[in-house]
Structures are given as C-alpha cells and as structure tokens.
C-alpha cells in the first residue's frame, strides 16, 4: 500500500519483498498480536455461525450473544473461518493486493464459539433484546465485531446478516463447498444499488422470520422450554446497520410496518449509522412516504459521522426525510418532544464513515481521525451504550402504550 501511495511499481517492489517479510516479522515481535474484545459489560461473548438457506433467501448469519463462559486467552479467529477472501472486496476497494492483507489472519477476537448462552428470559420475565444488523458495502457480517461484542456483553443478542447480493467483500457459509459470493465489480452509484437493496431487504426480513423458528434458538444453545416460552410472546426485534446496511434497515422496517396488523409490528426500533442515501431516493423509501402510500412510524435513531454531516447532499436528504416523517398524519399530532423522541438524529464529532466498523481498529493510521476526542475503541463502546439506551427507552414506551 505504501509503495502504491508513493507511485512505486512492481519492478521496484520485487527486490525489497524479502525486506517486507522481515519487517512484518519484526513488527509482530515488537507489538502484540491484536485481539479485539468487548469493553465493559457484565458478560462474556459467545458466537455461532448459522448456515444459509439460499432456496428461501435466508443468508448466512453470525450471532453474538451473552454468556458466562470465560473465553480462551487467545480468543478465536477474527477473520471468519480463517478465509482471507473475506478481505478481498476491501482489498479491491483500497487497490491493495490481497496478499498484503494476509496479516489480518493473525488478528483474534475475544469470544467463545458455541458457548452456553445466558437465559433468554430473565427472572423478571423480560427477554433479551434482539438486534438484526446489516453490514455496509464492501463489508461483511463480522466486520463490526467490536460493536457487536460490546452489545452482546451488555446482554443483547446480535444477529449479523451476511448479505449475498454481491455487496459484501466476500460471503460464504462455515463449511466449504457451498455457494460463494464475491464483491460485484459494478458502478454502485447506478440503479444497481436499488436492485441490491431490494435483495438485502428480503434477506433481512427472511432473517426476521427465521427468528420465529424454534430450531434457530436451539442452535444457539438455548433450552427448549425457554425458547417455547419466548416464542409464545411474539418477540420484537430491533434493526440496525451501517451505510448500505443502514438503508437496508430503514426499508425493511417500513415494509414490515406496512404489512403488519396494528400493534403487531415485529420491529420495535431502528438504529442506523451513516445510512446511505443513494438507494433510498426513489421507490424503495422516499417516494412512497412522500406520496402518502407508505407510512414510517417506527422509532428510529440515526447516528451521523462528521463525514456524513459535512456532505451537504447527504445531510440535506436526511433533513428532508425527517421533515416528511414529522408531517405524517399519525405523527403530526404528537408534541414536538414526542416527535423528537421517536425520530432521533445524533451527530458524532471527530468521526468518519468507518468509525463504527473494525476498520478503524485494524488500520487506525489510514482511517483514524486525528482530531478525535475519544479513542476509536471507546467511541464504538459509547455507541453500543447509545443503542441500548434507545432500545430500553422504546421498549418501555411500547409497554406503556400497549397497557393502555
């Protein structure tokens, strides 16, 4: 990467390749192998990979959940299944040869695969919050492990979707021999992004449907009786995502609301980071709301980085969306305070578009913010707390409304 930055080609690179190997070895001697781990929280973290069902448009899933099992000191592999191809889309995005990213195979995650989870429903009869997370363009389901581990260590179950629409850096199931999905080399600013969004939304909604299956929860290690009790309660979930994943969560929430009976919407709230405006500009989101054909009343938290706020086209688009949401007949009668509680916009200073992902932890020199007030890892932890506060607030609000 450094050679590319300075405009040096392959001919210059070959003679110093052995020096690069020596340099890498020296760096691993001087610096410890990086281990991503949750910051704070009451629990350790378990992780299970759930296989896809492509015939039913159900994608692979990485599920993070709270456990009391102490992880091994060295943790588990950070790159899924130790397959460096999960970095292939990222390497093409950065114009860096994939072999130069193989060092990421040494990164570890402080979690336990297949750990026994804590009870799904606590002694007060309250189930664990469940979050379905959608990754961004060039990402994959475990590229947000710091955020997802922080959420799990605080008592949430995070179901991270591995999208198979060609927007992931790479995607496959844990077992080799199945379908593999590489990043599509297309113009993502074209209508292709709307086509991909439609598939992503379907995959997210099919994942939501999968959560109503007893076998899903048993695969995570929960006991039969508590799963049956949980499913009888018509569980509610929270949608989240970053960038393209943020757009996915917004559209999925709108479609679920449209197709659900009153008070039966399974999506309780939405929390998105730097949602990508481009695929939302037309028929999948903006136009149906603008023309009054669809409503969107699900409590929503939008977190914008400095990069998103400073881009006026993006910022103006979401300001327009907020105005439209406030003007809906079912919302306009609410007080200003109630509106602001239901649709929350937060701007986080000294952050960039990558700040919520593990990218800033794996390559802080390239993607860090020099003027950050908080270290990148602390900022991610703060965002996990923000999400859980929002979930708690609207779970309480929903309970009070239902009681009426």
What are the residues facing 36 on neighbouring strands? 109
Q: Pick the catalytic residue: 135, 304, 353, 394?
A: 353
d(CA 240, CA 249): 6
Q: Pick the catalytic residue: 150, 165, 173, 274?
A: 274
Q: Two tokens at 355?
A: 């700040």
- Give residues with Cβ within 8 angstroms of 59, minimum separation 6: 52, 161, 162, 163, 164, 171, 203, 206, 207
How many Cβ atoms are within 10 Å of 101's Cβ, its own excluded? 20
Phi and psi for 293 in degrees, rounded to 5? Answer: -80, -30
Given a contact cutoff of 8 angstroms between Cβ atoms, the answer to whether 80 and 180 are in contact is no
Q: Two tokens at 321?
A: 């969306």
Q: Does the active-site annotation cover 305?
A: no
**Beta strand spans in 153-203 (E):** 157-161, 170-172, 180-182
Helices 145-153 and 376-403, packing angle to 10 deg: 50
Helices 244-259 and 192-210, packing angle to 10 deg: 60
Report the Cα–Cα distance between both ends of the chain, in Å, rounded.
Answer: 60
d(CA 106, CA 90): 17
Give me the sign of the Cα torsion angle 81, 84, 87, 89: negative
What are the residues facing 348 on neighbouring strands? 305
Q: Does the active-site annotation cover 163?
A: no
Local structure of 171: helix, strand or coil: strand
Q: How far is CA 177 from the centre of its chain?
A: 26
How many Cβ atoms are within 10 Å of 55's Cβ, its own excluded? 6
d(CA 373, CA 369): 9
Among candidate residues 230, 382, 226, 376, the one with its CA nearest the CA of residue 303 = 382
For 62, 115, 329, 349, the CA distances from 80, given in Å and listed in that order, are 9, 17, 46, 32
Q: Pick the catalytic residue: 52, 160, 167, 243?
A: 243
Q: Does the active-site annotation cover 240?
A: no
Active site residues: 243, 274, 353
């Amino acid at each position: 990467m450094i050679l590319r930055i300075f405009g040096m080609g392959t001919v210059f690179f070959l003679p110093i390749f052995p020096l690069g190997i020596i340099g890498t070895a020296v760096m691993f001697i001087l610096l410890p192998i990086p281990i991503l781990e949750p910051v704070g929280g009451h629990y350790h973290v378990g992780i299970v990979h759930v296989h896809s069902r492509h015939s039913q448009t159900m994608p692979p899933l990485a599920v993070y959940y709270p456990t009391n099992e102490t992880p091994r000191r060295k943790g588990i592999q950070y790159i899924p299944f130790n397959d460096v191809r999960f970095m292939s889309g990222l390497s093409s995005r950065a114009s860096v040869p994939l072999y130069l990213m193989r060092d990421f195979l040494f990164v570890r995650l402080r979690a336990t695969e297949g750990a026994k989870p804590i009870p799904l429903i606590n002694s007060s009869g309250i189930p664990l919050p469940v979050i379905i997370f959608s990754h961004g363009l060039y990402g994959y389901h475990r590229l947000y492990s710091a955020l997802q581990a922080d959420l799990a260590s605080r008592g949430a179950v995070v179901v991270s979707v591995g999208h198979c629409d060609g927007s992931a850096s790479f995607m496959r199931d844990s077992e080799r021999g199945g379908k593999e999905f590489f990043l599509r080399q297309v113009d993502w600013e074209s209508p292709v992004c709307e086509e991909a969004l439609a598939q992503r939304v379907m995959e997210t909604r099919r994942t939501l449907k999968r959560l109503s299956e007893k076998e899903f929860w048993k695969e995570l290690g929960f006991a039969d009786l508590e799963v049956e009790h949980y499913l009888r309660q018509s569980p509610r979930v929270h949608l989240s995502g970053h960038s393209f994943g943020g757009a996915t969560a917004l559209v999925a929430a709108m479609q679920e609301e449209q197709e659900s009976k009153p008070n039966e919407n399974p999506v309780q709230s939405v929390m998105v980071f730097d949602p990508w405006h481009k695929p939302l500009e037309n028929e999948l989101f903006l136009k149906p709301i603008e023309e009054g054909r669809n409503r969107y009343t699900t409590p929503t938290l939008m977190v914008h980085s400095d990069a998103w706020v400073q881009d006026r086209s993006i910022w103006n688009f979401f300001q327009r969306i907020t105005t439209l949401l406030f003007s809906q007949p079912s919302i306009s009668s609410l007080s200003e305070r109630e509106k602001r509680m239901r649709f929350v916009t937060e701007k986080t200073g000294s952050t960039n578009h990558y700040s919520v992902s593990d990218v800033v932890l794996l390559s802080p020199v390239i993607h860090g913010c020099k003027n950050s007030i908080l270290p990148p890892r602390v900022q991610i932890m703060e965002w996990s707390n923000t999400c859980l506060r929002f979930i708690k607030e609207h779970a309480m609000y929903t309970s009070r409304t239902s009681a009426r």
